Amino acid sequence: MPTRFLSDPYRRASRRDVVTGVMVLVASSALSGCGSAIPRPRAIRLKRDVCQYCGMPVGDPRFAAEIWDSDYGRVRIYDDFGCAVMAAEGRGEIGRSDVAFWVADETEPTRWLDARSAHYRSGAPTPMAHGYAAGPQIGHGIDFAAATSDIREKALCAHST
């Protein structure tokens, strides 16, 4: 702060002093909020949100997934659980329990399940044909590790030369 304020405590602040003070307050409050985003899934905007792996608009919420991106303080959205698995694999997040990962419950698409503790079924008609849908344990007997392993194995087979 300029020393002129210290020398004359009764001096009126100039317009420049007020504007500078306001700018400092706004900047400090904006910066203090940078790390305060809470990891949680958000509602999908059908046909407006785009899968961050394959680029397709999310058209069926039953198979959507989201992964928390702590670098940007927001979720990354995927139209298919398989796309989320492949993206997480590519970013080295698939085995990291500190990275929040959610999948939509196919029986109640507005409900998000923790992807690592959810149960899956194969053979689902998913948008990108990865074939896995999450839901209640009844009818969904495959765990996260088995589902992700199968998705990654199929992707390797599809891309091998």
* pLDDT tens digits, 95-106: 999 999 999 999
pTM above 0.85, yes or no: no
Residue-wise pLDDT for 121-156, tens only, equals 999 999 999 999 999 888 899 999 999 999 999 888
Does the pLDDT at position 158 exceed 90? no
Q: pLDDT value at position 143?
A: 96
Q: pLDDT value at position 36?
A: 63
Query: With 0-12 CB in 10 A as exposed, 13-18 as middle and 19+ as buried, what is 109?
Result: middle
Average pLDDT across the chain, whole number = 87
The residues with which 133 forms a beta bridge, in sequence order, are 121
